[in-house]
Chains A and B, each alone.
Chain A
Amino acid sequence: MADQTAVFEAVREGMIPAHVYNDREIFELERDRLFNRSWMFLAHESEIPDVGDYVVRHVLEDSFIVTRDNKGEVRVMFNMCLHRGMQVCRAEMGNASNFRCPYHGWSYRNDGRILGLPFHQEAYGGEEGFKKKGQTLLPAPSMDTYNGLIFISLDPDAEPLEDFLGDFKFYLDYYTKQSADGVEVRGPQRWRVKANWKIGAENFAGDMYHTPQTHTSVVEIGLFREPKAEKRKDGNTYWATSGGGTTYKLPPGTLEERLAYVGYPAEMIERMKESWSQDQLDVIGRDGFMISAASIFPNISLVHNWPKVEDTDSDEVLPFISLRQWQPISENETEVLSWFIVDKNAPEEFKALSYKAYLMCFGSTGMFEQDDVENWVSLTNTAAGSMARRLHLNSRMGMKMDGSEVVPALTKEQFAGPGKAYVGYGEYSQRNLLSKWADYLEREPEPAKGISLGGAIRGEQGRTSCSEEQNR
């Protein structure tokens, strides 16, 4: 494999070798050194509310069953039969007390424990031949949740999820904790685009610069009140530990007036005041910034916008939130999973209108989505060629030649949020995201430990960890 040191050095200086957006070797490094280690989002707990509910989700090629077992615990298990490796669950979602392998009929309870092992006595000599007691489908090496968001890492020694998310939790709460009961999700819609996964992640992390150009038509037809160029440059972009995003500057007013300005009803505003810290409230009420798009490293994005949903002359808007994952298929193809998110305690009428607002803007039919993807596909195609190997894209917006800042970072008095934030156009978040990407790709992978099941290997009795030991 080629030495990529020069690529990482260039990326850290904000100069991006264009081929990283369509390069097989880079993609293989991402698979082995990034997606094999990082915390990866799989599902939200509200997708599996009842005992036995499950969804099947992927980390690249690896299929995982995310279930709520009979005790109500959330489990994430590798969807591969311990015997011959067949997928034990072939549906995408459903409710089941057990999963049965279609190949030889082994079955597993919804906490992963082996239930049925045909001809155990005759074929294996019972427990003396194949120890089935305590054996489970392989649990995800690391699993944890934040605000109901279920993450796993394929690294058994992954740092705790809360440490990984770090200061970005502050911003994640705006999207996923608008009341004490959290959010519910709808979806995901799932579709594929012929674009590299990093482009979407970078775009949502901090590309407020594209809005006035790419999304002109959305403003022209009157759907959107905000994304005019003069509006976007007044907002700030921030980066905090594992993620970053963009904000809009709100007109003068109190906290309540500003939340009402983007369309939240009074009862939801009251619950936000109870759920968020003083600093979280100050970002809006004191500093006048409203969170918009964001990305969590490596491939999760969020968006919060407030379009006009009624076809009238009034300026009335309604907010929606979407969560999406840029699931890599190859160096030039990405599966997008897009969820609608809404506060569990929101009034039903708000939920319905907010869902409509989401569908107009994002999701497979969303107007913003269509605008964006045309750029991303075209960029990916061009990045495969020979000329792209010569060009280093300039991703240094907001930074002078000598590395000094075009504008100073906001002080704590100007912006109560953690991390670093700057008003105006700049590619701060994209640089942070790709620097983190370079950190992961540069580090040699640890060889994965083999897990042998039920029998002897090199004199040792292999077994999976008992289901009770799986992280919660």
Chain B
Amino acid sequence: MAKLTADFGACQGYANCVVAADDVYDIDDDGIVVLLKEHIEESDRARVEEAARSCPVNALQVVDG
């Protein structure tokens, strides 16, 4: 399993993560990222990491655990 983290203060509402993986990331009415899952399977890690990397302000991480 891998764990998803977000720096909610850094998020600027680009929503690139939602475009890349809308089953994992969403955005609330204030334009701040919402994590729809806390953990993901290792098999899904590559796809979600790509979504996290698409964040222009580096607010998203996928970490072990």
Interface residues of A (CB under 8 A from B): 97-98, 100, 105, 107, 115-122, 126, 132-133
Contacts and interface: CB of A to CB of B under 8 A. Distances in A.
B36 to A, nearest CB: 14
B48 to A, nearest CB: 15
A105 B12 CA distance: 11
A82 to B, nearest CB: 14
A115 B30 contact: no
Nearest to A132: B31
Contacts of B12: 118-122
Contact of B31 (A97, A98, A100, A117): A117
A118 B15 CA distance: 8
Contacts of B18: 98, 107, 115-116
B62 to A, nearest CB: 20
Given A119-B12, A122-B12, A100 B56 contact: no
14 contacts: A98-B22, A105-B16, A105-B56, A107-B14, A107-B18, A115-B18, A116-B16, A116-B27, A119-B12, A119-B13, A120-B13, A120-B31, A121-B30, A121-B31
Given A118-B56, A119-B12, A119-B13, A126 B19 contact: no
Contacts of B16: 100, 105, 107, 116
Given A97-B22, A98-B22, A116 B15 contact: yes
A116 B13 contact: yes
A118 B19 contact: no
B19 A115 contact: yes
B17 to A, nearest CB: 9
Given A97-B22, A98-B22, A105-B56, A115 B29 contact: no
Given A97-B19, A98-B19, A100-B19, A116 B14 contact: yes
Contact of A117 (B13, B19, B22): B13
Given A100-B15, A118-B56, 20 more contacts: A97-B22, A98-B15, A98-B18, A98-B19, A100-B16, A105-B14, A105-B16, A107-B16, A107-B19, A115-B19, A116-B18, A116-B27, A118-B13, A120-B12, A120-B13, A121-B12, A121-B30, A121-B31, A122-B12, A126-B31
A107 B15 contact: yes
Interface residues of B, number: 13
> SS class of chain A's interface: helix, strand, loop or mixed?
mixed
Interface centre among B13, B14, B19, B27 (most CB of A within 10 A): B13
B30 A126 contact: yes
Interface of B: 12-16, 18-19, 22, 27, 29-31, 56
Contacts of B29: 133
A181 B27 CA distance: 39
A105 B57 CA distance: 12
Contacts, number: 49
A132 B56 CA distance: 21
Interface centre among B18, B19, B29 (most CB of A within 10 A): B19
Contacts of B14: 105, 107, 116, 118
A75 B36 CA distance: 27
A133 B30 CA distance: 9
Nearest to A133: B29
Contacts of A105: 14, 16, 56
A150 B13 CA distance: 34
B27 to A, nearest CB: 6
Contacts of A115: 15, 18-19, 27
Contacts of B19: 97-98, 100, 107, 115-116
B54 to A, nearest CB: 10
Closest 4 CB pairs of A and B: A116-B15, A98-B19, A115-B15, A120-B31
Contacts of A118: 12-14, 56
A121 B11 CA distance: 11
Contacts of B13: 116-121
Contacts of A120: 12-13, 31
Nearest to B17: A116
Interface centre among B15, B18, B22 (most CB of A within 10 A): B15
A133 B29 CA distance: 8
Contacts of A132: 31
Contacts of B31: 116-117, 120-121, 126, 132
Nearest to A120: B31
A97 B16 CA distance: 12
A121 to B, nearest CB: 7
B60 to A, nearest CB: 13
Contacts of A126: 30-31
A67 to B, nearest CB: 14
A107 B33 CA distance: 14
A117 B31 CA distance: 7
Nearest to A96: B19
Interface centre among A97, A98, A115, A132 (most CB of B within 10 A): A115
